[in-house]
């Protein structure tokens, strides 16, 4: 099912694992060099910069290729319909299969770009095909089709982005199906909680299965998305806004108390489970959602002015950080505050310096008085945009 | 599972007994779950919230607090941080100096930011420099360059470069460069060009004198972007006159120069920049040639050109990457 060579994928995992031990000094570089030919990886996987460059160039090729084909076919009136988009999508898909099977590209930028464009073309085609129906009724079939499409691509190419879209469209599919079958909206949040929780549980189980090891990264993304959706399906603000939009009335939400408890307490539950199970995804999502919970609460109840709230929250967070740092001075209960000793492929110091420059470089700016100001000059981006 | 892997590798004779023993030891120890990034992120958010909250508090109560107090507060923060840094710094060296602890860099950053805020506040509220706006940015710039070299901090160096650009009347970070810049003015184009040349020159002086060699990346990164964008802007600004050819020649000269250097330094990032910027230049020349043909055929030619050249560039990048790795 997977388009990539499975032995090579396994060997790649092996090499990655050994490389960590090389960096930690447990294995000598000579041994690593000896291991490489034995466990050969035949993929073409260049470094990040090459990948970005190849991604951009592939997009240029496909863009102009599709443009030229459309222009050539324009006289025959076949370009107007959605079928043409499917045709172009099939062409890029064929290109993708050739690149992956014959040239052994794996995460090289070329396959990333063609996969991305193929899916975009198909999704646009579906959207145009179904939008002929009146009203919102086509959302149901649209989300179903997108789900099937992205599911196929995430299974075949173990792609993280496809997996994320597949997961989201699946939730959308359930949502639209349920609202169509069952009248009234009061049951929807509970169904969504069940479904999103179920998907997380499934992803958790699948992540431990040996035969699915190639999908590890995709499953992590699925877990992330379903955790967020699990929270969203009980979040008071989301429920209230959605039901107001779909019924046109701004009534208070039924079972409001349950959803308030859900909104406030679930992030802490995530964090607690994350710490208990040492699960980085749960822990980080929990930390992120605390901010969401606070914002949700503040949209309905203005308890404190912003400045005092920020000051108190800042002091609180700094206090917690200080406490945790002190507590973990020596590692306790399997937790440490030390940096993980795997070296990042990018020297993070340089990246950090660029981020610093982007965020805090608004130095006192002197007003520039150099004549008349014209409109912004527009150029850049492919070298082709401004000319037509 | 890992254990199986190394058992196998050991049985195949790919790993020596010594290394295998080390792996065994490592696996006997419990795996630690690192909270490093969580703690750092929370620290960052906490500082942001606290400063934001305090700033708002002061802003709303400025009538009762008074500007003098605020200025003194900022000065106290700034001096305190610098005091800490000077007391804890490692001795100066021409090479890279590791920071003494993980919070040192952030404290230094806070010191420099508060210095900038202090000078800006002073100028805004009391007009200390009067209308000599140049001085108001020149002095912080000198201070920042001094701090960057003295404490060996790449982030501060980037801030100093940005300040140099502000002093010259332009902005340098890529985001602002594309958002706010106004390339229809000749002075701005020339200022950018001079700035780019200064930065690239600084990169090479850094390299050849072996004085803080690791600063070269920052200088070259900003220098190349600024110089290329200035020259492309110059080319489009003088599109219809003969001077456009001079700008084009400038672009190709710069490309040649950076290309040679990127190979010497084995830096694929700069090589990619050279290829992409030169590609934009060449493509604009080609499009200019085709646009003369007032026919739909011109579009076909251009489309074919882009498909062909982009495919060629993909092969070229792959080969260059191999060459850099092999050399």
For residue A372, what is the nearest residue in chain B, using CA coordinates? B185
Higher local confidence (pLDDT), A161 or A360: A161
Task: Choose from A37-51, A96-110, B126-140 the range with maximum mean pLDDT.
Answer: A96-110
Return the pLDDT at B68. Answer: 82
CB B77 within 8 A of CB B114: yes
Residue A368 clears pLDDT 50, i.e. is over it: no
Return the pLDDT at A305. Answer: 79
Q: H or E segment at A321? A: helix A306-327
Question: What average pLDDT score do residues A184-188 get?
Answer: 79
Instruction: Select from A358, A379, A381, A353 the least CA-distant residue to B181.
Output: A379
For residue A37, what is the nearest residue in chain B, using CA coordinates? B14
Name the pLDDT band for A282 (thresholds 50, 70, 90). confident
Q: Indicate the SS3 state at residue A6.
A: helix
Return the pLDDT at B181. Answer: 58
User: Which residues have C-beta within 8 Å of that of residue B33, sequence separation ≥ 6?
Assistant: A278, A280, A334, A335, A336
What CA–CA distance (Å, rounded) separates A35 from A19?
10
What CA–CA distance (Å, rounded) separates B95 from B161?
20
Return the pLDDT at A230. Answer: 92
Task: Give how far the C-alpha of residue B71 lies from the chain's centroid of Cα atoms, to the nearest Å.
Answer: 31
Return the pLDDT at B171. Answer: 57
Pick the range with the lowest mean pLDDT from A82-96, A186-200, B158-172.
B158-172
The β-bridge partners of A357 are none
* Residue of A23, A54, A57 for testing the chain B interface, max B β-carbons within 10 Å: A57
Residue A366 clears pLDDT 50, i.e. is over it: no
Please, what is the end-to-end C-alpha distance for chain B in angstroms? 38
Cβ neighbourhood burial of B17 (10 Å; 0-12, 13-18, 19+): exposed
Instruction: Select from B279, B189, B265 the least CA-distant residue to B226.
Output: B189
- Interchain proximity A26–B140, CB inside 8 Å: no
Distance from CA of B166 to the nearest CA of A (A): 6
Question: What average pLDDT score do residues A87-102 get?
Answer: 90
Residue A374 clears pLDDT 50, i.e. is over it: no
Residue A346 clears pLDDT 50, i.e. is over it: no
Instruction: Select from B203, B202, B170, B105 the least CA-distant residue to A361.
Output: B170
Cβ neighbourhood burial of B241 (10 Å; 0-12, 13-18, 19+): exposed
- Phi, psi torsion values for A336, nearest 5 degrees: -140, 160
Question: What average pLDDT score do residues A301-312 get?
Answer: 80
Task: Choose from A209-218, A245-254, B72-81 the range with maximum mean pLDDT.
Answer: B72-81
Cβ count near B148 (within 10 Å): 24
pLDDT in single tens digits along all 327 residues of chain B: 455 677 777 777 667 777 777 777 776 666 667 777 777 778 878 877 887 888 777 777 777 777 888 888 889 988 998 898 888 887 777 777 777 777 787 788 888 888 888 888 888 777 777 777 677 778 888 989 988 888 888 888 888 888 888 887 765 555 555 555 566 677 778 888 888 999 999 988 888 887 777 888 889 988 998 899 888 888 888 888 778 888 889 899 999 999 888 888 888 888 888 988 999 889 888 888 887 777 777 888 888 888 899 889 888 888 888 887 777
Q: What mean pLDDT value characterizes chain A?
A: 78
Name the pLDDT band for A173 (thresholds 50, 70, 90). very high
Cβ neighbourhood burial of A177 (10 Å; 0-12, 13-18, 19+): middle
Identity of the residue in A314, A321, A367 whose CB atom sits nearest the CB atom of B39: A321
A109-156 per-position pLDDT tens digit: 888 899 999 999 999 888 888 877 656 677 888 899 999 999 999 989
- Interchain proximity B33–A278, CB inside 8 Å: yes
User: Which residues have C-beta within 8 Å of that of residue A382, sequence separation ≥ 6?
Assistant: A60, B280, B283
Q: For chains A and B, what is the number of CB pairs under 8 angstroms?
A: 281
- Interchain proximity A54–B185, CB inside 8 Å: no
CB A55 within 8 A of CB A112: yes
Identify the residue whose tokens are 């795997």: A342
SS3 helix, strand, coil % of chain B, rounded to 5?
Answer: 80, 0, 20
- Interchain proximity B34–A47, CB inside 8 Å: no
User: Which residues have C-beta within 8 Å of that of residue B279, sequence separation ≥ 6?
Assistant: A383, B309, B313
- Interchain proximity A321–B284, CB inside 8 Å: no
* Residue of B44, B251, B281, B314 for testing the chain A interface, max A β-carbons within 10 Å: B314
Return the pLDDT at A148. Answer: 93
Establish if B291 touches chain A: CB-CB under 8 angstroms: yes
Identity of the residue in A71, A313, A374 whose CB atom sits nearest the CB atom of B184: A374
| Category of B263 on φ-ψ map: left (φ > 0), alpha (ψ -120 to 50) or beta | alpha
Identify the residue whose tokens are 């129906």: A133
CB B46 within 8 A of CB A321: yes
Identify the residue whose tokens are 């909250």: B53
For residue B40, what is the nearest residue in chain A, using CA coordinates? A321
* Residue of A346, A353, A362, A387 for testing the chain B interface, max B β-carbons within 10 Å: A353
- Interchain proximity A26–B155, CB inside 8 Å: no
- Interchain proximity B163–A363, CB inside 8 Å: yes
Q: H or E segment at B61? A: none
Return the pLDDT at A385. Answer: 34
CB B108 within 8 A of CB B156: yes
- Interchain proximity B157–A58, CB inside 8 Å: no
- Interchain proximity B158–A353, CB inside 8 Å: yes
Identity of the residue in B134, B287, B318 whose CB atom sits nearest the CB atom of A384: B287
Q: Is the dihedral of CA B232, B236, B237, B240 positive or negative?
A: positive
- Interchain proximity A375–B46, CB inside 8 Å: no
What CA–CA distance (Å, rounded) separates A304 from A308?
7
Residues of B with CB below 8 A from A44's CB? 318
CB B268 within 8 A of CB B324: yes
Question: What average pLDDT score do residues A300-309 get?
Answer: 79
Name the pLDDT band for A355 (thresholds 50, 70, 90). low
Name the pLDDT band for A101 (thresholds 50, 70, 90). confident
Residue A10 clears pLDDT 60, i.e. is over it: yes
């Amino acid at each position: 099912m997977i388009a990539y060579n499975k032995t090579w994928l396994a060997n790649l995992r092996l090499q990655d694992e050994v490389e960590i031990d090389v960096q930690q000094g447990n294995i000598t570089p000579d041994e690593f060099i000896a291991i490489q030919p034995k466990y050969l990886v035949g993929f073409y996987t260049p470094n990040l910069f090459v990948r970005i460059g190849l991604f951009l160039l592939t997009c240029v090729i496909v863009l102009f290729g599709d443009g030229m084909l459309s222009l050539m076919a324009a006289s025959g009136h076949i370009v107007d319909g959605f079928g043409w988009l499917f045709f172009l999508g099939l062409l890029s898909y064929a290109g993708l299969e050739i690149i992956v099977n014959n040239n052994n590209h794996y995460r090289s930028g070329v396959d990333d770009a063609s996969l991305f464009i193929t899916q975009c073309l198909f999704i646009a085609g579906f959207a145009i095909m179904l939008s002929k129906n009146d009203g919102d009724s086509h959302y149901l079939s649209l989300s179903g089709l997108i789900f099937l499409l992205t599911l196929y691509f995430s299974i075949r190419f173990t792609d993280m982005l496809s997996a994320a879209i597949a997961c989201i469209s699946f939730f959308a599919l359930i949502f639209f199906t349920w609202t169509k079958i069952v009248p009234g909206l009061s049951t929807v949040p509970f169904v969504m909680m069940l479904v999103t929780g179920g998907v997380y549980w499934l992803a958790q189980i699948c992540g431990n299965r040996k035969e699915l090891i190639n999908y590890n990264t995709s499953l992590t993304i699925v877990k992330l998305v379903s955790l967020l959706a699990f929270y969203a399906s009980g979040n008071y603000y989301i429920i209230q806004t959605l039901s107001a939009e779909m019924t046109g009335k701004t009534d208070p939400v039924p079972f409001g108390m349950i959803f308030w408890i859900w909104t406030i307490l679930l992030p802490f539950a995530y964090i607690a489970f994350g710490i208990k199970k040492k699960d980085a995804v749960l822990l980080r999502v929990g930390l992120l959602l605390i901010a969401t919970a606070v914002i949700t609460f503040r949209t309905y109840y203005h308890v404190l002015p912003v400045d005092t709230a920020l000051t108190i929250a800042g002091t609180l967070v700094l206090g917690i950080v200080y406490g945790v740092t002190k507590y973990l001075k020596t590692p306790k209960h399997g937790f440490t505050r030390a940096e993980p000793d795997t070296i990042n492929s990018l020297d993070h110091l340089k990246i950090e310096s660029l981020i610093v420059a982007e965020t805090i470089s608004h130095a006192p700016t002197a007003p520039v008085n150099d004549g008349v100001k014209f409109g912004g000059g527009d150029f850049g981006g492919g070298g082709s945009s401004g000319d037509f | 599972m890992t254990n199986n892997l190394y058992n196998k590798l050991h049985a195949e004779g790919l790993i020596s007994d010594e290394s295998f023993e080390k792996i065994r030891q490592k696996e006997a120890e419990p795996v630690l779950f690192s909270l490093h990034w969580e703690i750092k992120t929370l620290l960052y958010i906490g500082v942001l919230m606290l400063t934001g909250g305090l700033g708002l508090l002061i802003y709303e109560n400025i009538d009762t607090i008074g500007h003098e107090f605020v200025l003194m507060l900022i000065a106290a923060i700034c001096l305190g941080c610098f005091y800490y840094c000077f007391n804890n710094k490692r001795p100066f060296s021409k090479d890279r100096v590791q920071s003494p602890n993980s919070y040192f860099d952030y404290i230094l950053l806070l010191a420099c930011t508060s210095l900038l805020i202090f000078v800006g506040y002073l100028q805004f509220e009391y007009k200390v420099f009067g209308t000599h706006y140049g001085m108001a940015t020149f002095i912080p710039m000198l201070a920042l360059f001094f701090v960057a070299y003295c404490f060996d901090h790449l982030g501060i160096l980037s801030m100093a470069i940005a300040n140099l650009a502000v002093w010259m009347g332009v902005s340098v970070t890529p985001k602002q460069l594309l958002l706010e810049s106004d390339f229809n003015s000749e002075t701005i184009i020339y200022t950018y060009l001079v700035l780019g040349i200064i930065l690239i020159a600084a990169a090479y002086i850094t390299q050849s004198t072996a004085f803080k060699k690791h600063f070269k990346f920052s200088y070259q990164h900003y220098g190349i972007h600024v110089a290329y964008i200035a020259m492309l802007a110059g080319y489009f600004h003088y599109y219809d006159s003969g001077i456009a050819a001079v700008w084009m020649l400038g672009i190709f000269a710069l490309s040649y120069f950076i290309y040679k250097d990127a190979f010497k330094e084995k830096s694929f990032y700069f090589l990619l920049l050279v290829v992409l910027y030169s590609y934009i230049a060449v493509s604009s020349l080609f499009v200019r040639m085709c646009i003369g043909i007032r026919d739909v055929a011109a579009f076909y030619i251009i489309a074919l050109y882009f498909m062909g050249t982009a495919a060629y560039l993909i092969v070229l990048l792959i080969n260059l990457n191999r060459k850099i790795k092999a050399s």
